[in-house]
């Protein structure tokens, strides 16, 4: 398998767009969707089926020219499948030998985000030849923290447009995303693991 520049582990389809659009647009980028996101993120909020969300992610990958991989592990069930998640992630890192790995940052509170982060942290602790970065999904990385060492500016209106166009099933979360993005002024912030 060809070595890639960026290997992004997105717990659910749309997390990658919320947290690391600036990396998605780089050549030689692979996005691994760990779950298919078919479970509601909040009680009372409807979500699309796994197949709809995978189709949306596939369309986004064609638009931005990155390679998608779908592990289709159970949404909301990564904690009970930690060893499986860890083995799959570490196996893909070994196969693709990326320069940079991106996972959700350590402050994310969703259990699926946390499991993917912990595997990224383990990778960072044990493989010094790969840069591992944590990206924001729903929880901000405090700007004053010492671990913020990597920022990238993205076009805010383009990011919103992509979200509206490609993740139509998740439009209910758009207001939350708008609030998050506007507070940052379009800057993506990354934790160095």
Tell me the domain boundaries of the chain.
6-192
d(Cα 48, Cα 46) in Å, to the nearest integer?
7
Reported as a single tens digit per residue, the pLDDT across 88-128 is: 999 999 999 999 999 999 999 899 999 999 999 999 999 98
Tokens coding 160: 């919103």
At 113 the pLDDT is: 95
Cite the beta strand spans of 42-186 per DSSP E.
67-73, 100-104, 131-135, 148-153
Question: Which of the listed CATH numbers 3.40.50.300, 2.170.130.10, 3.40.50.620, 3.40.50.10320 matches domain 6-192?
Answer: 3.40.50.10320
What is the per-residue pLDDT for 63? 93
pLDDT on residue 43: 46
Using one digit for the tens of pLDDT, what is the confidence trace for 46-96?
455 778 889 999 999 999 999 999 999 988 889 999 999 999 999 999 999
What mean pLDDT comes out for the span 42-49? 54
How many angstroms separate the CA atoms of 93 and 60, rounded? 22
Asked if residue 36 lies in contact with residue 50, where contact means CB atoms within 8 angstroms, the answer is: yes
pLDDT at 164 over 80: no
CA distance linking residue 118 with residue 34, whole number of Å:
14
Residue 174 reports pLDDT greater than 80: no
Q: What is the model's pTM?
A: 0.88
């Amino acid at each position: 398998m060809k070595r890639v520049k960026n290997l992004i582990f997105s717990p659910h389809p749309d997390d990658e767009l919320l947290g690391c659009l600036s990396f998605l647009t780089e050549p030689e980028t692979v996005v691994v969707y760990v779950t298919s996101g078919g479970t509601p993120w909040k009680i009372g909020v409807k979500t699309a089926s796994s197949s709809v969300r995978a189709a949306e992610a596939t369309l986004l990958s064609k638009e931005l020219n990155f390679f998608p991989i779908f592990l289709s592990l159970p949404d909301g069930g990564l904690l009970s499948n930690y060893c499986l998640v860890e083995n799959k992630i570490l196996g893909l890192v070994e196969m693709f030998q990326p320069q940079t790995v991106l996972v959700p940052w350590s402050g994310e509170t969703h259990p699926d985000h946390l499991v993917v982060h912990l595997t990224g942290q383990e990778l960072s602790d044990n493989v010094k030849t790969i840069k591992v970065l944590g990206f924001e999904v729903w929880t901000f990385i405090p700007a004053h923290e010492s671990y913020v060492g990597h920022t990238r500016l993205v076009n805010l209106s383009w990011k919103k447009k992509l979200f509206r166009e490609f993740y139509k099933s998740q439009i209910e979360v758009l207001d939350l995303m708008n609030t998050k993005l506007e507070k940052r002024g379009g800057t993506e912030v990354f934790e160095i693991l």
